[in-house]
Every structure is written in structure tokens, then in C-alpha cells.
Amino acid sequence: MMFASIRLATNLDREDIRGVYLRAFPEGENQLVATLAANLLSEETDPETIALVAEISGDVVGHIAFSPVMADTNNNWLGYILAPLCVIPEHHKVGIGSELVESGIELISKKMADVVFVYGDPKYYGKFGFSAEAATQFMPPYELKYPFGWQARVLHEGGSDDQARKLSCVLSLRDPALW
Ligand SMILES: CC(C)(COP(=O)(O)OP(=O)(O)OC[C@H]1O[C@@H](n2cnc3c(N)ncnc32)[C@H](O)[C@@H]1OP(=O)(O)O)[C@@H](O)C(=O)NCCC(=O)NCCS
């Protein structure tokens, strides 16, 4: 069932996107993640950083972003990280978060991403096929406050091997406070 319409975000959505993070995340954390979401809109990466918004009656009620991560040992490998994600509290638990995650993964899968990462609650992300096990060979760019939240989902098996890899991320995510 469709609960909201999902479309690519643009720079014109910046303030609406900031607004959903300020409302959906607890105080103390919300400014940091709102700034992250806003900054990601300006990332000019190759391959591109992607942001989607969920709208109901023309109002932005949710947002998700995916930015590329690079591996130090393999130029033919493409990873993305899902961060951040939020839906405003009034519209929780009707599937909007799931729509954003699934639409985004479909898009990056078409871009031939090999693996998508997330740093978040395994109870939420497990239902989308993310697991800590799939992430074990990949070292996040910064030391994690919550190592159990580091997860991955393999999208295309071809690019993978068993070599350990240290990941680097886009500029907006290069803040140890986010990890
Ligand atoms: C997490 C979030 C995006 C989910 O959005 P949503 O639109 O409510 O998600 P869905 O409707 O697709 O799924 C809701 C289900 O996920 C569950 N869920 C939400 N957050 C969860 C969490 N942290 N851990 C486990 N389950 C969670 C809900 O209880 C609900 O379960 P149900 O379907 O059995 O009732 C939303 O709660 C949110 O924005 N939270 C605040 C910000 C946040 O934590 N973002 C994620 C950062 S990692």
C-alpha cells in the first residue's frame, strides 16, 4: 500500500528537510542530523549522492539520503551508505520509512552499487535485509559509539571478495560526532 508519494529531493526542499529532522529527532541530536541532511543536498559526488522526500498533500513528511562510500583497496567496487532517515512523528508506523528505504535501495541498486551500509538500530534495519554479518569486512570511516549498529546489505555479489576494507565517506559525513 502507498502511504506517501516519494520523489527525488532538490535544493528547494532544504528548509522542509531541516524541519522534519528538527521535529523527528530528540533535542541534542536533531541539529546535528538536520545539518547533515541539508549538507548532503549540496554534495557533488561521482557517483551521485541521492536524497528522496516523502510527501503527503504537498508537505514533506520524511527524508532519506544515500551517499557513496569508497573502499581503499578496490576501485571497481561501489558502496553507498544510507544516512540519515526520518519521518515526522505524526506519520510514524504507516510504512513511510519503509517506502523511503525500499525506493532508495532500488535506485542505488540500479546504479550498480555492490553494497549498501547503514549505522542504526538493527531491529529496524534488519527487516530490509541489513545485517551486522554482511558488514564485518568493512571498517567504517570513524570509530563507532555503537558498533552493533554497523550493518550492510549486499546488492550485487560480483564486486565482493573477502578482503578487509577501510571505507571513506563524503565530506558531510566526515564528522566523528555522527559516528
Ligand atoms: C525510524 C523511522 C524512520 C521509522 O519510520 P516509520 O515511517 O514509522 O517506519 P515504518 O512505518 O516503515 O515502520 C514502522 C515500524 O518500525 C518500528 N520501528 C521504528 N523505529 C524503530 C526502532 N528504532 N527499532 C525497532 N523498530 C522500530 C515501529 O515500531 C514500527 O513497527 P510495526 O510496523 O511493527 O508497528 C521513524 O520512527 C523516525 O523518523 N524516527 C526518528 C528518527 C530516527 O530514529 N531515524 C532513524 C535513524 S537510524
In the reported structure, the alpha carbon of residue 92 is separated from the centroid of ligand 1 by a whole-number distance in angstroms of 7
In the reported structure, the alpha carbon of residue 128 is separated from the centroid of ligand 1 by a whole-number distance in angstroms of 12
Residue 144: predicted pLDDT: 98
Return the CATH fold of 5-171: Aminopeptidase (3.40.630)
Best mutation site among 29, 52, 93, 100 for ligand 1 pocket (most ligand atoms within 8 Å of CB): 93
Residue 120: predicted pLDDT: 97
Distance CA 86, CA 23 (A): 9
Residue 75: predicted pLDDT: 76
Mean pLDDT on 130-152: 97
What would the pLDDT profile of 34-90 be if each residue is shown by its tens digit? 999 999 999 999 999 999 999 999 999 999 999 999 998 777 889 999 999 999 999
- The pTM of this model reads 0.95
- Nearest atom in ligand 1 to the alpha carbon of residue 101 is 12
Cβ–ligand 1 contact at 86 (below 6 Å): yes
CA dihedral 167, 80, 148, 33 (to 10 degrees): 100
CB count within 10 Å of CB 14 equals 16
Nearest-CA residue for ligand 1 atom 4 is 97
3-state DSSP of 61-97: EEEEEEEEEEECCCCCCCEEEEEEEEECHHHCCCCHH
Residue 76: predicted pLDDT: 84
Bridge partner residues of 153 (DSSP): 116
Q: What is the CA radius of gyration of the chain?
A: 15
Residue 160: pLDDT band (50, 70, 90) is low
Average predicted confidence (pLDDT) for the chain: 95
> Domain residues of the chain, as ranges?
5-171
